[in-house]
Amino acid sequence: MILITAATGQVGSAALNALAGADSEVRALVRNPSVFAAPEGVQVVQGDFDDDMSIASALKGVTVMLLAGRDSPNSVSQHRRILAQVQQSGVHHVVKLSAIGASPKSPVALMREHYEVDEEVRKGPAVWTFLKPHLYMQNLLRAADTIRREGMLAAPMGDNRPPLIDTRDIGAVAATVLRNPAAHVGREYTLTGPVAVSYKEVAKALTAVAGRVVTYDPVAPEEYENRLRAVGMPDWRAYDLAHIASAYGVSENAVSPDIATLLGRQPRSLSEFLEDHRKVYSG
């Protein structure tokens, strides 16, 4: 049995869709099953990272799991609770969703937290595989309203050139590993898009689908953080989103061949992603 945690999240849901129709038994862990539409054949169970009994129940019969969670100041303690239950279960392989840039020295809390949980996973007793993606192309959907109204892509990325990745590709990689976990024991996969792009180039690509000229506004991180706080975003979340570019240096922005190797095809390009979401940007 395969368990997908955070099954309503971007990567969890993509992994479920990629696994749909496979021979393997798949179980989705969600907080509210009554509002969750699972792919056909997927078993849905209720669970909460803060509820040990629900996690223990969800892990019954599970041999391999995708461990993903929501960003939160409590994420490390929540993952530790999950891993404590894993140690008492029959799970023998944990596929952990981590991130490029995970480091104890990162200026961004999210990356420090990923590193801390990764180290817990390494301790076992279950064997492990780490999936380390870069920034998601799907994050660009947050700016769709402003792009339609104002033709502006405001972001605190400066001249950073991240190799943005489509979460559908991350889900496809997760499904590949989960179907045949023994082939991926102890591996760490760096998951990126096919090319690194500046946000000026992102704005140019958006122009092609938005039906209007889109301009990149390189907002300073501090200003971007203030804007997010002003609309009610929690301080911890606002800081991480505003300063995320500082988590990546030249080496972290390198394009990886891992998706092509694992999937036998190139990762989706930015233009493919935007074309798939043309209606979102063009109205």
pLDDT one-digit tens code per residue, 160-212: 999 999 999 999 999 999 999 999 999 999 999 999 999 999 999 999 999 99
Domain assignment present for residue 275? The answer is: no
Q: 147 to each of 78, 199, 212, how far by Cα in Å?
A: 36, 13, 9
- Which span out of 20-24, 146-150, 279-283 was modeled with the highest average pLDDT? 146-150
> DSSP strand E in the chain: where?
2-4, 26-30, 43-46, 64-67, 93-97, 127-133, 152-155, 188-191, 215-218
Per-residue pLDDT, 70: 83
What DSSP designation does 213 have?
-
For residues 89-97, average pLDDT: 96
Per-residue pLDDT, 24: 75
A 10 A CB-CB count for 34 gives 7
For residues 97-105, average pLDDT: 97
CATH number, domain at 65?
3.40.50.720
For residues 148-161, average pLDDT: 95
Stretch among 24-38, 87-101, 126-140, 214-228 having the lowest mean pLDDT: 24-38
Per-residue pLDDT, 20: 83
Q: Give the model confidence (pLDDT) of 2-38 as tens digits.
A: 999 999 999 999 999 999 876 679 999 998 988 898 8
Domain assignment present for residue 42? The answer is: yes
Question: Given a cut of 80, is residue 252 above it in pLDDT?
Answer: yes
Domain assignment present for residue 45? The answer is: yes
Q: Which one has a higher pLDDT value, 50 or 106?
A: 106
Domain assignment present for residue 99? The answer is: yes
- The closest alpha carbon to 104, from 76, 131, 82, belongs to 76
Question: Given a cut of 80, is residue 242 above it in pLDDT?
Answer: yes
Q: How many domains does the chain have?
A: 1
Residue 35's domain comprises: 2-133+166-192+253-267
> Model pTM?
0.95
Domain assignment present for residue 283? The answer is: no
**Are the CB atoms for 122 and 114 separated by under 8 Å?**
no
Domain assignment present for residue 145? The answer is: no
